[in-house]
Amino acid sequence: MKSNKGKGLLGLLGLLVVLGIFGFFGYDTLQKSKLVTDENGVTSQNGGIKLGLDLAGGVSITYQAKEENPSAEDMSDTQYKLQQRVQNYSSEAEVYQEGGNRINVDIPGVTDANKILEELGKPGSLQFYDENWNVVLEGTDVASAKAVIYKDQQTGNNNYEVALTFTDEGTKKFADVTAANVGKKIAIVYDNVMYSNPTVQQAITGGQASISGMTSYEEAENLASTIRIGSLSLELEELRSNVVGAKLGQEAITTSLKAGAIGFGIVCVFMIVVYLIPGLAASLALCLYVALMLILLAAFEVTLTLPGIAGIILSIGMAVDANVIIFTRIKEEIGLGKTVHSAIKTGFAKALSAIVDGNVTTLIAAAVLYWRGSGTVKGFATTLALGIVLSMFTALFVTKFTLNTLYNLGFQDQKFYGIRKEKKALNFLGKRNICFIISAVMILAGVAGMVMNKSSIGNAFNYSLDFQGGTSTSVTFNEDMSLERISSEVVPVVESITNSADTQTQKVAGTNEVIIKTRTLSVEERQALDEALVENFGVDESKITAESISGAVSAEMKRDAVMATAIATVFMLLYIWVRFKDIRFAASAVLALVHDVLVVVACYALAKWSVGSTAIACLLTIVGYSINATIVIFDRIRENIKLMGPKASTVDIVNTSITQTFTRSINTSLTTFVMVFVLFIMGVSSIREFALPLMAGIICGTYSSVCLTGAMWYVMTTKKQKKDAVEKQAKKDAEKAAKKAKKSGK
């Protein structure tokens, strides 16, 4: 006993030291992440976590097409490809069209416009030359370029190359050119500078090529980036560049941090009250989780924006969920008569499959979203993936270590852990038809809302500036306006003209200029806004300019997001199918996932919530949350099929499984909901706009997991059972008839 207490005391001291060290570095990272404004009005950070344009501002560069009247198709294509180029600086960079021939690039987390311009380069033309210096290919013939690393089998050293993939037309051109130039060089020239001059070894007909001779991955990535930017449909030139302030301002960051801290505190208190000693262990593990998350966000230079915060909230919810699954299992084992020590060991073992399957499924989604997505989708995927890995580590290792440490210290009585006795199964399946009808009504109501919106506002949804663009008004005030004053004094004046809450403002550092982005304004509304600014702030009307801007989320980016989600869904379906060895589990999970997305989309339509880039992140969060909750119930159904045996009816198995996991479903949803709810209560308007759909998604995800997934699996299973029974009976009847016919033939 004394030995165990000594071991427990040593373990507790070690845990507290680790918490202290990582807590200090986490706090230091948070302090360095704060925005600091110098005497010139330039806002910057001293390190820490890179904040996105919405939280910290950055560099805004405007390019103009050299062609006098570029086509809309060329502008759209150039905007999308430029978006791919600036991903090297930040996954949260925004690219949008201004007027008919200009493109704006907003890059978060930087303040040196000249450095970015120098690194980004003027997007000139890319050309391929033969040895007689004839242009044989253009940059537009290249579909993609990426840096690759491979190991030399002879030397064991890493080699670096740039892999090129050509368009269909470029493939044919390249095949002809290489066939005619075997043994000769083909130079790759960008903006009159030769970047590479490789020798053609043989005719290349597959539409792919590689450029070797790079000394580092960075060099290969820079060349790949140069080639990608060189394949723009239009040649651009810099028109102007500014350092701009945050869209949301310091107030949004401060209130979000306070809300996060309060929400996290409430979750810890809830865990301790409900789960006692295990809850304390989970709270300590979650504290380490938060500290590690802050440190890793900074270490991996992840750019944090509102969608990124959504990923963190989801991962915290999943971290809590893993602990709740474990503690529920421990209570059940104690209820079955096992000792506390044995219950802890068995509880972790039995919870492992549900935790791994739920987290791996969501991790698959995050990986695909990062691979296929762009912009906010990629930022969301990064923070989500990082959070999932950390949540699994803290739940399976840190919580287990802490719980065993507390047990060794003397907390060995069952009263410290709680006892969960077997409850009578509730008849969830008895209400399945009512639930199906409720879901159908909600989805159809959403469709009706879209139709009504189309007739009243011209679109199925209330699209924000991010999606449909609007008007950008540049105003030079007579004094330096702080972000707080802009938010409290200028924005209300603007909204009185636009009658819309969708207003974005940015301050140009070192000047009195403020950029105001609103929905598209008519000529009369522009004039009214000018007059209101002059009247309220004494602005010189000649220092007010306005331009039409496109949405920062281009059609291609929307397509990428939809494609990424579709591919992620397919991969999740395959994983669940393989793990559960039953396509009906996978089909039910995906149907529930689609249901949740459609219901939240219906909320967007009916409530006319603003649909922008954060809406994409909200829907992706709901996808991850929904699939994780469903996996837990399916894991219990899979287990009960074996435990309850072939004599148990499918109805009893499903009802028992949902009943056993019901408390877990409610508690996990409650803790995640609290995190978002506090954010909604304390946050600024843009934060509330972001938190509200998340809360709807959490409620919907809980409802579908409890009321729909098991019911859908049951319906599919019983249909197959009936079909098998009919086929079996038909086979018996056929055999009987054959025997009768054979007998009568004799």
More confident residue, 289 or 158: 289
Mean pLDDT to the nearest integer, 206-216 = 79
**Confidence class for position 402, pLDDT limits 50, 70, 90:** very high
Work out the average pLDDT over 710-738.
81
- Give the closest residue to 89 by CA, choosing from 62, 66, 113, 65: 113
Place 320 in a pLDDT band, splitting at 50, 70 and 90. confident
**pLDDT above 70: residue 376:** no
Q: Where in the chain is the domain with CATH 3.30.1360.200?
A: 56-244
Instruction: Show the tokens assigned to 403.
Output: 């719980």
Ranges 265-269, 373-377, 383-387: which has the least confidence: 373-377
CA–CA distance, 554 with 558 (Å, rounded to integer)? 6
Q: Identity (one letter) of the amino acid at 633?
A: I
CATH number of the 470-549 domain: 3.30.70
Instruction: Report pLDDT for 63.
Output: 83
> What is the reported pLDDT for 625?
73
CA angle 570, 572, 578 (to 5 degrees): 105
Report whether 161 contacts 150 (CB < 8 A): yes
Contact 515, 491 (CB under 8 A): no
Q: SS in 3 state form for 423-439?
A: CCCCCCHHHHHHHHHHH
For residue 388, pLDDT over 90 is answered with no
Give the confidence band of 2 by pLDDT, cuts at 50, 70, 90. low
Q: 685-704 vs 250-299: helix axis angle to the nearest 10?
A: 60
Give the whole-angstrom CA distance, residue 13 versus residue 290: 20
Question: pLDDT tens digits, residue range 414-435?
Answer: 889 888 777 788 899 999 999 9
**Banded pLDDT at 314 (limits 50, 70, 90):** low
CA dihedral 391, 396, 399, 400 (to 10 degrees): 180
> If we measure between CA atoms, which residue out of 471, 467, 519, 469 comes closest to residue 498?
519
Predicted confidence (pLDDT) at residue 38 exceeds the cutoff of 70: no
Mean pLDDT of the chain: 82
Structure-model confidence comparison of residues 582 and 555, the more confident one: 582
At a CB cut-off of 8 Å and minimum separation 6, what does 121 contact? 191, 226, 229
Query: pLDDT tens digit string along 244-267?
Result: 666 665 666 677 778 878 888 888
In degrees and rounded to multiples of 5, residue 505 shows phi and psi of -130, 145
Q: Are 683 and 611 within 8 A, CB to CB?
A: no
Other CB atoms within a 10 A radius of the CB of residue 67 amount to 14
Q: What is the pLDDT of residue 515?
A: 85
pLDDT of residue 401 exceeding 80, the answer is yes
> Which has more pLDDT, 278 or 202?
278
Is residue 21 scored above 90 in pLDDT? yes
In this prediction, residue 79 carries a pLDDT of 81
pLDDT value for 8 = 84
In 33-104, which ranges are continuous DSSP H helix?
A: 53-56, 72-86
Architecture of the domain defined by 56-244: 2-Layer Sandwich (3.30)
What DSSP state is assigned to residue 460? S
Longest dimension (CA), the chain: 113
Using the predicted structure, report yes or no on whether residue 498 has a pLDDT greater than 80.
yes
Centroid of chain to Cα 284: 27
Question: How far apart are the C-alpha atoms of 166 and 144, rounded to whole Å?
Answer: 7
pLDDT at 272 over 90: yes
- Quick one: tokens of 461? 């949804």
Strands 303-304 and 50-51: parallel
What percentage of the chain exceeds 70 in pLDDT? 88
Q: At 319, which amino acid appears?
A: A
Helix (H, G, I), strand (E, B) or coil at 337: coil
pTM of the model: 0.72
Q: Please give the residue that has the higher pLDDT: either 433 or 311.
A: 433
Ramachandran angles phi, psi of 353, nearest 5°: -65, -45
Instruction: Specify the pLDDT at position 163.
Output: 86
Confidence check: pLDDT of 41 > 60 = no
Within 10 angstroms of residue 672's Cβ, the number of other Cβ atoms is 28
Cα(505)–Cα(546) distance, rounded to whole angstroms? 14
Angle between helices 2-32 and 399-408 (to 10 degrees): 140
pLDDT at 337 over 80: yes
* pLDDT on residue 709: 92
Most confident of 75-84, 358-367, 632-641: 632-641
Give the pLDDT confidence score for residue 168 in this predicted structure: 87
Decide if pLDDT at 368 tops 60: yes
Strand order from edge to edge, sheet including 158-166: 142-151, 158-166, 208-214
Residues of the chain with CATH 3.30.70: 470-549
For 640-693, what is each residue's pLDDT tens digit? 998 888 888 999 999 999 998 898 888 888 888 888 888 888 876 667 777 888
pLDDT surpassing 90 at residue 514:
no
- Say if residue 734's pLDDT is above 90: no
**pLDDT tens-digit series, residues 141-155:** 888 888 888 877 777
Lowest model confidence (mean pLDDT) among 36-40, 64-68, 372-376 = 36-40
How does DSSP assign 638-664, residue by residue?
HHHHHHH-TTS-HHHHHHHHHHHHHHH
- What's the CA gap between 410 and 416, in Å, rounded? 10
Provide the 3-class DSSP secondary structure of residue 233.
Answer: coil
pLDDT value for 342:
93
**DSSP states along 193-253:** EEEE-PBP-S---SSEEEEEEESSHHHHHHHHHHHHHHT-SS-EEEEEEEEE--SS-HHHH
pLDDT for 746 equals 53
